[in-house]
Structure 1
Amino acid sequence: METNSCLKMQVALTLLPKFNTQKYLTFIERCGGIEGFFHEKTRAFSTLLKEYQLSFSDERKSALKSAEEELKNLDLYDIRLCSVEHSNYPFLLRQCEDTPLVFYYKGQLVTESLPYLAIVGTRHASERCKIRVRTILKELAERGHRLVIVSGLAYGIDITAHLSSLTQHFPTYAVLGHGLNLIYPAPHKNIAENILRQGGALLSEYPCSSPFIPQHFLQRNRIIAGLSQATFVAESALKGGAMATAHIAASYGRDVMALPGRPEDIFSKGCNELIKQNIAALVEDSSDIACLLHLKDKKSPPQQTSFNFFDTGDQEKQVLKILTQQGCTPIDELSKNTHIAMNELIALLLKLELEGKIISLPGKNYIIS
């Protein structure tokens, strides 16, 4: 088990973002690793900075002091650290020059050898593309494949990818642009908890004390791309986080894939452009993804991917109709309007949530996904 002193130094490195990057690993190794980096005498440290032609105000002591407070957050929120010095640091992420030497996580880092697929796209996802994502992951599962799905927990394509992963029992990673003491957007807190319950993880390079700024959400895209063997852009305009992730993945030499769309659809223009520029391979169905990931079909035992506790056909339509018409609706009102017993309604709502059709919100409220 790591000492508290060692953990404190790893936390302190995340408070010095310039050095918390693979780019400076050689420099840190010259100091004797992360621990040596903080123990290095001032004069020797300055000499090394000059040798590497680095300009840096020595804030190591203040970072160590601030790290003491951050360590309390690790215990409070059950957050763990993963350092490049650890054996479970993700292999593909380790290959990227600009990825963090230390990151925070909750849940489990998958140690078995599985392909990692990033699925990204617009927050304004169309029903057509959300259905395609669900169908593709369902088909991959039916073909006997098991993948780790990586995304960013945002509205639209991201959350569809996470929910579909949970339905197919794939481990899924959500890479966040803020400290792991909170979940943004807040309505996705329940889904984040399900990710942890089903063997996935929440990841971030940012400590709980870091400011909440939009730039962090752009920076986290490189981790999504870096973790993954391939990045699949399901729907995107010409500009946006998904396009940035695709270009980063291409710069890492990773495969990029995209779902084509109609030329008149603004949120298909980015995918079409990636395909036209030969940055992304065109994806029509799961077989295209399986081919690009070099996956061979396996014989898969029958799996039940929905909860058929009772005949839900008419009841399901009732619930979906009310949520479509009324928007955000509390569970008590759903029970009253549908005349479904509360215990049956809870099971039905869980089924719909895992199928990605609805989203549960704080206060036992529900909306259409």
Structure 2
Amino acid sequence: MNHENSVLTRVAITMAPRLNNALFASLFQQCGGISGFFEETDQNIETLFRENNLTNIQPERSRWLQMAKQELDVMEKHHIRVCGIEDSNYPRLLKHCADAPLVLFYKGILDDSDSKNIAIVGTRKATEMGKKRVDTLLHELAETGYHPNIISGLAYGIDITAHTACIHYGLKAQAVLGHGLHMVYPASHKNMAEKILEQGGALISEFPTCAQILPTNFLQRNRIVAGMSEAILVAESPIKGGAMSTARQALSYNREVMAIPGRPEDPTFAGCNLLIKQNIAALVENIKDLLRILNWPPLPTGPYQMSLDLFPITNNEVLLLEILLKRGEQNIDQLHQLTRIPVHDLSVLLLKLELEGHVMQLPGNCYTLI
């Protein structure tokens, strides 16, 4: 089968219910691969389905191929590519997981053959402390000279904080999404997705654009985040949440699990503390802990690019810094009165300055220079 037909059949198999999972790899091995599955006679396919206990699924190969042709048109429009588990650019660690997707859709550069891979996950309702810790850790990681792929899910909270830090400190980010790549959810993170691609990263999904977006998709994608990584860091999480399921999935893949501890009375770190208490996760307080746990030796120091100036400082940011320098600690209402910057825009600017290490948030929604 030629390359065009190979791409078509890979897309087509993602239309099959429950068949885009390596749990059913034996079926395709008996057919000589995914392409061979679509070349078999109807009689042989029916026999193979019975032998593989798939009697509750009706093989509708013609319909799947027709759907795939329509999907290819959408993929071309949105610059989406497809990768099969047998391809050289399929994530090398994920390939060895029993439940790895047979097919991945992606944008950007999907090649980690020589790269280290760390997943950073956590709650969508991250505290400023949790965000600051992630930003500091990735800043310090970039300064060591190591530049691993940082894998996360582009969600609110810890995910977007990790991606933002990657962009700022010149690290490569890979975002695994729970829907087709014709869109970005949440929509407010579309600009960050574009910056990830500009910086040589990738957007990855097992879902075609025509797939229904369901809450379970985001739990399902967690196994890809865990499977792609040699280690996973839970930066902030309550006891229940997607980050905890990702950590336990990583443990089942024999990956290194790490967690940043929090105060015992802080519920947003209760999951991290529990993982450490149960000896599931190694405790990480700083970059030295991380390098020791991963057994990464210190690299020779030398000139290298510390960060990319993708977020040049603006006049409003200069104004904020000057006010904090002259007046000291100010709450957001005081800063609004002094600058006349809309409160929403002010919050965004303050978060940016905080992530860049210029300001620190204090109790009472107050800010001060670091």
Q: Please, what TM-score do these two structures have when normalized by structure 1?
A: 0.85
Equivalent residue letter for 2:35: E
Report deviation, 1:32: 1.0
What is the identity, as a one-letter code, of the residue corresponding to 1:76?
K
One-letter amino acid matched to 1:5: N
Letter of the aligned partner of 1:24 in structure 2?
Answer: F
Indicate the SS of the match to 1:238: coil
Question: Which residue number in structure 1 is paired with residue 285 of structure 2?
Answer: 284
Cα contact 2:152–2:163 (8 A) shared by 1: yes
Give the whole-Å Cα distance in 2 for the aligned partners of 1:208 and 1:303: 37
Native 8 Å contact 1:121 1:235 kept in 2: yes
Partner amino acid, structure 2, of 1:32: G
Distance 1:174 1:356 in 2: 24
1:214 paired residue number: 215
Cα deviation for residue 106 of structure 1 reads 0.4
**Per the alignment, do residues 83 and 311 of structure 1 end up closer, same or farther by CA in structure 2, a change over 3 Å counting?**
closer
Query: 2:275 touches 2:281 (CA, 8 Å); kept in 1?
Result: yes
Deviation at residue 61 of structure 1 after TM alignment: 1.6
Provide the C-alpha distance between the structure 2 equivalents of 1:110 and 1:293, rounded to a whole number of angstroms: 21
Which SS does the other structure have where 2:178 is aligned? coil
Match of 1:107?
A: 108
Q: Which residue of 2 aligns with 1:45?
A: 45
Deviation at 1:357, TM superposition (A): 9.0
Q: Report how far residue 323 of structure 1 moved.
A: 11
Q: Structure 1 residues 229 and 319, CA, compared in 2 at 3 Å: closer, same or farther?
A: farther
8 Å contact from structure 1 (residues 163, 355) kept in 2: no
Q: Secondary structure at the match of 2:257?
A: strand
Q: Contact (CA 8 Å) 2:170, 2:308: kept in 1 or not?
A: no
* 1:115/1:293 contact within 8 Å kept: no
Distance (Å, rounded) in 1 between the aligned partners of 2:96 and 2:64: 27
Q: Per the alignment, do residues 201 and 309 of structure 1 end up closer, same or farther by CA in structure 2, a change over 3 Å counting? A: closer
Unaligned runs of 5+ residues in structure 2 are 342-348, 360-370
How many residues are matched? 343
Deviations 1:289-319 (A, max 9, x none): 1122221111242544364978987434379
Q: Distance in 2 between matches of 1:225 and 1:206?
A: 17
Which amino acid counterpart does residue 265 of structure 1 have in structure 2?
A: D
The 3 A distance-change label for structure 1 pair 88 and 353 is farther
Cα distance between partner residues in 2 of 1:80 and 1:213: 22
The one-letter code matched in structure 2 to 1:113 is D
Structure 1 counterpart SS, 2:104: strand
> Secondary structure at the residue paired with 2:93?
helix
1:24 aligned partner: 24
Q: Secondary structure at the match of 1:91?
A: coil
1:49, distance to aligned residue in structure 2 (A): 2.2
Write the distance in 1 (CA, Å) between the matches of 2:205 and 2:85.
14
CA contact (8 A) 1:257 1:281 kept: yes
- Quote the Cα distance in structure 1 between the aligned partners of 2:118 and 2:215: 24
How far did residue 284 of structure 1 move? 0.8
Q: Is the Cα–Cα contact under 8 Å of residues 174 and 201 in structure 1 kept in the other structure?
A: yes
Given that 1:21 and 1:98 are in contact with CA atoms closer than 8 Å, whether structure 2 keeps it comes out as yes
- Residue type of the partner of 1:279? I
Q: Which residue pairs with 1:153 in the alignment? A: 154
1:13 equivalent to 2:17? Answer: no
Change (3 A) 1:351 1:300: farther
Secondary structure of the 1:104 match is strand
Distance change (3 Å), C-alpha of 1:337 and 1:223: same
- 2:64 — aligned with what? 63
Cα distance change, pair 322–181 in 1 and its aligned pair in 2 (3 A): farther
1:276-295 alpha-carbon deviations (Å, 9 max, x no partner): 11111111111111122221
Q: Please tell me the residue identity of whatever aligns with 1:89.
A: Y
Alignment CA distance shift 1:59-1:310 (3 Å): closer
Alignment partners' CA distance in 1, 2:241 and 2:331:
29
Deviation at 1:144, TM superposition (A): 1.2
Instruction: Quote how far apart the aligned CAs of 1:52 are.
Output: 2.4
Change (3 A) 1:325 1:284: same
More divergent stretch after superposition (122-131 vs 42-51): 42-51
Shift of 1:112: 4.5
DSSP-derived class of the 1:237 partner? coil
Name which of structure 1's ranges 151-160 and 282-291 shifts more when overlaid on structure 2.
Answer: 282-291
RMSD (CA atoms): 3.0
Q: Deviations over 1:181-211 (max 9, x none)?
A: 1010011100000000000000011111111
Question: Is the Cα–Cα contact under 8 Å of residues 170 and 306 in structure 2 kept in the other structure?
Answer: no
Distance in 2, matches of 1:351 and 1:239, equals 29
User: Equivalent of 1:317, from 312, 317, 321?
Assistant: 321
Q: Could you tell me how far 1:325 is from its partner in structure 2? A: 4.5
- Whether 1:248 aligns to 2:249 is yes
Rounded Cα–Cα distance in structure 2 between residues aligned with 1:62 and 1:107: 29
In structure 2, the CA distance between the partners of 1:45 and 1:310, relative to structure 1 (3 Å rule), is closer
Distance 1:350 1:233 in 2: 21
* Letter matched to residue 307 of structure 2: T
The 1:64–1:132 alpha-carbon spacing in structure 2 relative to 1, beyond 3 Å, is same
Cα deviation code 1:82-106 (max 9, x no counterpart): 1012111111000111121101000
Identity of aligned residues (%): 48
TM-score (norm 2): 0.85
Distance 1:60 1:101, change over 3 A: same
User: Secondary structure at 2:120's aligned position in 1?
Assistant: strand
**Is 2:91–2:113's contact at 8 Å kept on the other side of the alignment?**
no
